[in-house]
Structure 1
């Protein structure tokens, strides 16, 4: 019984990680499949065809490019706005602070289908159905990404030691110098994490995008359509590349963090 109590937490942790990572492993494995027919659901034969020609379907690659473009623009705008809001919420006290703080949680708490339908009604009444496209999707993504950026950067600012900024001011540093050489380097990991989260949310979003896309088709929308008519192995290749890219970014950040710690 003592051995079970000592290893229960480890066993539960391993089971949870296997449950979380198993779908990713299946996607990676199925990307090397040569399916029979249009659907890459059943393993048939090992092949590198999908990896050698990941853009066999021009429509799929166009949707990937569109998702990446929207993700980059939405991430940049949401990160800038969210970071400024986070600084205002943490560093300043104003009358509407509690109300603004509550409003920031609405995009995260509200169901996406409700937000998507509301945005669709807004765009229909302002620019008409013919105006739906790249910028309406980007505006919608910025709206829900800002809240996540604010929460992430706020947590970083709340844990920052304010005496470091006061020490810089005691050493006759100007406010601009203090922000550039002290504040920004300390909060930069939080901003980077917020930007990565915003980019992932934007590229991954389907529900809100459907209501605001018009005639455009992002990568999640393409996958949903493919499930109904065809599911090529190239989709698993793209998913595997995204997974490997994310792991590479995480590994690089860990290496850089350890290198900075070692230099100190």
Structure 2
């Protein structure tokens, strides 16, 4: 029975990976198709990737995405790390945890509408800055969750020893706590960066008019309404590789948090 159960689980796992990754592999292959047709393979070509570098709209959207991702990552990492430290150094509360992780559970569309309504209430001008603030709010919970995981495997008596030796709270944080939780902070920052690059709904709702605040996912959406073109396949392949690379680096950094 155990053997049959194991075979069934392995089969289920294989089918899951096939269903999940075969469409991605097809997209990648089509991005190198010279003809750009989804049904006929006419040879290998990098033509569609070279055309991406010739598109001003795509390059502008890529720059906006990097500005948003880097800015939101820096802000979310700082706030999320301080939030994780504050929560973990105080008495645990399930209600506080629920409030902290709410942005991770709330659907993106709900959070996007709430942020847009909040900006409208304040008569806040929309643009790249509003997307940065929105992504920061969205990413704080993810950073805090990763950093808290590291802190739960941290010997808090070291902090007490630092205080006994005359170290102030600021000195203890920067010279004792932060170096110890640095792998978790880096993993949280990389995860935040990945989420910000790929995020579409919140950016779409909180962006200003015009191309000045158009991010790469928004540009892809605008292009795909007229059909899937080879340029979109190439762009999606690049975004996918960047996302996978960052996720792998974040996982390795997070593993380093447990091996130290």
Question: Quick check: TM above 0.5?
Answer: yes
Q: Structure 1 residues 89 and 260 mapped into 2: Cα distance closer, same or farther (>3 Å)?
A: closer
Matched, 1:34 2:34: yes
Root-mean-square deviation (CA), in Å? 3.3
Query: 1:207 Cα shift?
Result: 1.5
Query: 1:136 Cα shift?
Result: 0.8
Deviates more, 1:75-84 or 1:11-20: 11-20
Mapped partners of 2:204, 2:249: distance in 1: 34
TM-score w.r.t. the length of structure 1 is 0.80
How many residue pairs match? The answer is: 255
| 238, 247, 255: which one aligns with 1:241 | 238
Q: Structure 1 residues 25 and 214 mapped into 2: Cα distance closer, same or farther (>3 Å)?
A: same
Answer whether contact 2:187 2:254 (CA < 8 A) is retained. no
Mapped partners of 2:194, 2:24: distance in 1: 16
Q: Structure 1 residues 83 and 35 mapped into 2: Cα distance closer, same or farther (>3 Å)?
A: same
Secondary structure, aligned partner of 1:153: helix
Mapped partners of 2:163, 2:66: distance in 1: 41
Matched, 1:223 2:217: no
Query: 1:165 Cα shift?
Result: 5.0
Query: 1:98 Cα shift?
Result: 5.4
1:125 corresponds in structure 2 to 121
Query: 1:213 Cα shift?
Result: 0.5
Deviates more, 1:182-191 or 1:67-76: 182-191
Mapped partners of 2:144, 2:163: distance in 1: 26
Query: 1:212 Cα shift?
Result: 0.8
Answer whether contact 1:156 1:190 (CA < 8 A) is retained. yes
Structure 2 residues without counterparts, runs of 5 or longer: none
Structure 1 residues without counterparts, runs of 5 or longer: none
Deviations 1:90-127 (A, max 9, x none): 01249xx6554332222222222222222222222323
1:161 corresponds in structure 2 to 155
1:146 corresponds in structure 2 to 140
Secondary structure, aligned partner of 2:32: coil
Matched, 1:23 2:17: no
Query: 1:16 Cα shift?
Result: 2.4
Answer whether contact 1:30 1:43 (CA < 8 A) is retained. no
Mapped partners of 1:83, 1:64: distance in 2: 28
Query: 1:139 Cα shift?
Result: 0.9
Q: Structure 1 residues 140 and 261 mapped into 2: Cα distance closer, same or farther (>3 Å)?
A: closer
2:75 corresponds in structure 1 to 77
Answer whether contact 2:52 2:58 (CA < 8 A) is retained. no
Deviates more, 1:249-258 or 1:6-15: 249-258
Paired residues for 1:60-209 under 5 Å:
60-93=58-91, 99-127=95-123, 131-163=125-157, 174=167, 179-180=173-174, 182-209=176-203
Mapped partners of 1:101, 1:21: distance in 2: 34
Secondary structure, aligned partner of 1:229: coil
Deviations 1:11-34 (A, max 9, x none): 333332333322332222111023
Q: Structure 1 residues 146 and 251 mapped into 2: Cα distance closer, same or farther (>3 Å)?
A: closer
TM-score w.r.t. the length of structure 2 is 0.81
Mapped partners of 1:108, 1:252: distance in 2: 21
